[in-house]
Amino acid sequence: QVQLVESGGGLVQAGDSLRLSCAASGGTISSSAIGWFRQAPGKEREFVCAIGWTGTILNGYSVKGRFTISRDNAKNTVLLQMNSLKPDDTAIYYCAVGSMLTRSQTYYAPWGQGTQVTVSS
C-alpha cells in the first residue's frame, strides 16, 4: 500500500511563496494521478490541482495562475509550487493518489496526513 507524506507547509505573509512536497513510499506513483486538496477551518475540503501520469494538469479555479503542480518520478514525489499566496489560501493541504485525473475526491485514495499552510495578511 502506497503511503503519502506531505511537507513544506508553514507560516508566511501574503504575497510569499511556498513549495509543498508529496513523497510516496511503499510503491511507485509514476503511473498514478496525484491530486492536491485543501481544507480551511469550518469549510469543506476542496480541490486544488492534480497531475496525471502523462503530465496532464488539472487546475482548481481558485488557484489557477498562482499554483503549479509537477512530478519527479525519479524521487517518487509530486510538488506544489504556490506563489502570490493570499490569506484565503490558509488551510491544511493534502495529497492523494487518484484512480483517474479528476477534481472529484471520490476517486482519490490513499491520502496523506496533511501539512498546514498559514498565510498572514
- 121 residues of the chain, pLDDT tens digit each: 999 999 999 999 999 999 999 999 999 999 999 999 999 999 999 999 999 999 999 999 888 789 999 999 999 999 999 999 999 999 999 999 999 999 999 999 999 999 999 999 9
| CA torsion through residues 71, 111, 5, 85, sign | positive
C-alpha cell at 45: 475540503
The residue written with cell numbers 513544506 in the block is: 8
pLDDT at site 65: 85
| Residue 44 pLDDT | 96
Q: How far apart are CA 31 and CA 9, in angstroms?
A: 26
Is residue 24 within 8 Å of residue 3, measured between CB atoms?
yes
Place of cell 498559514: 118
Q: Note the pLDDT of residue 26.
A: 95
Give the amino acid at 95. Answer: C
Q: 111: closest CA among 42, 53, 38?
A: 38
CA–CA separation, 11 and 56 (whole Å): 30
In angstroms, the CA 60 to CA 91 distance is 15
